[in-house]
Structure 1
Amino acid sequence: MAMQLKVSSIACSGCADTITKAIKNLESEADVQVDVEQKLVTVETKASEESIKQVITDAGHTVDNG
């Protein structure tokens, strides 16, 4: 399942790396793309949207609702 999440706390490529690693720890097969300028995280995963949001939050970032 593909999902696109707005993560307003993304500031740099380091943030993108942190988020990517966190999601890959949850599901190593996930395809993660982070657009730093647009503050968007696109994930192709078998995991639920809630679990992906939780992993991003646990990594210290803020997932916007909506």
Structure 2
Amino acid sequence: MALQLKVPSIACNGCAETITDTIHTMEPDAKVDVDVQAKTVTVEAQASEETIKQAIVAAGHTIEGYQ
């Protein structure tokens, strides 16, 4: 299942790498696509949506509509 999240705090490719690395740390086989221009993160992983969101927030980013 692909999960697409709006992450308004993405500013550059460095942000994209940080998010990708954080998700890969918890799930090495996850497919992660970060679109810096659109400020979206698309993830295909076995982990739950909540776990992925927590990882992105732990990496220092914000997710639209998520506290």
Tell me the TM-score normalized by structure 2.
0.95
Structure 2, gaps ≥5 residues long: none
* CA shift for structure 1 position 65: 1.6
Structure-1 residue corresponding to 2:47: 47
Counterpart Cα distance in 1 of 2:26 and 2:52: 8
* Percent identical: 61
Number of positions where the alignment pairs a residue of Structure 1 with one of Structure 2: 66
* CA shift for structure 1 position 63: 0.8
Structure-2 residue corresponding to 1:6: 6
SS of 2:57's equivalent? Answer: helix
Tell me the TM-score normalized by structure 1.
0.96
Counterpart Cα distance in 2 of 1:63 and 1:51: 13
Q: Structure 1: which 4+ aligned runs deviate by more than 4 Å?
A: none
Counterpart Cα distance in 2 of 1:64 and 1:30: 21
Structure-1 residue corresponding to 2:36: 36
